[in-house]
Structure 1
């Protein structure tokens, strides 16, 4: 993924404000959002080719970050999820640490285990699942290059 010049932040106002605060402080303000850990995810737009950035709650598992494509329980997948299906190479920022990663969808037993871990972090995911018939994706972000600390 190329440099971050020209990255488009989420069009959702409060998310864009969160992202700007996170970036300006290297995550010191924003990494923990209402008591939940958040990261910044940059994907490549599947139609535009532009870089797109959003903030998401995350968990950790075996050196990987885990995120959930809940979209608030909407019947539609979030755009960032559709983008990473088209191009799984992403950029992640956790606090001040920025790294490249490859995204993949968790399946089977791994998905079940990670879903439980993520609902422990953010219990609202359980109610989101009841609002939609779509399978809410659980995504694993596997860092590329040197191992994360």
Structure 2
């Protein structure tokens, strides 16, 4: 079993998320970046509808590209359980993303499975040192979520 890399305390992770969302709210594309810039992965704003409230919920997630599709990890800051945005997408897979250039795009989400999941996980593993150790530290499986452009 891989050793678990350092994960910041939960309060720190949650505070960082709040600050990042506040920066992103300052305007389209703010606080977001393309893969290969600040980090090896990119950051986008994902807006889902709350599965119970029906209200728009926006989070910032890391992403990589796969042709015209994007993919992210449903990791909840490496804490236990799935993130709320993933529960929302499982209930209603239609969402909107805002990219670093400020453009928005309608997407449909689904969970990668089998060989596709392994291939996409390997892309993340090549960029994130200790990814397998981080995932092994959670009892919740880390889903790879694919965001496919919605039919126009």
Question: Which range, TM-score by smaller chain?
Answer: 0.7 to 0.9
Report the CA distance between 1:130 and its aligned residue: 1.3
* Structure 1 unmatched runs, 5+: 1-11
**Counterpart in 1 of 2:26?**
24
What number of residue pairs does the alignment pair up?
A: 135
- 1:113 corresponds to 2:115: no
Q: Return the alpha-carbon distance in structure 2 between the equivalents of residues 105 and 112 of structure 1.
A: 12
2:143 pairs with one of 132, 137, 145: 137
Report the CA distance between 1:41 and its aligned residue: 0.5
Please give the TM-score of this superposition, normalised by the length of structure 1.
0.80
Q: 1:117-144 CA distances to partner (integer Å, 9 max, x unpaired)?
A: 1222333532321111222110000012
Contact map agreement 1:19 1:30 (CA 8 A) in 2? no
Contact map agreement 1:59 1:67 (CA 8 A) in 2? yes
RMSD of aligned C-alpha atoms?
2.0
* Structure 2 unmatched runs, 5+: 1-13
Please give the TM-score of this superposition, normalised by the length of structure 2.
0.79
**Counterpart in 2 of 1:53?**
58
Q: Return the alpha-carbon distance in structure 1 between the equivalents of residues 45 and 90 of structure 2.
A: 17
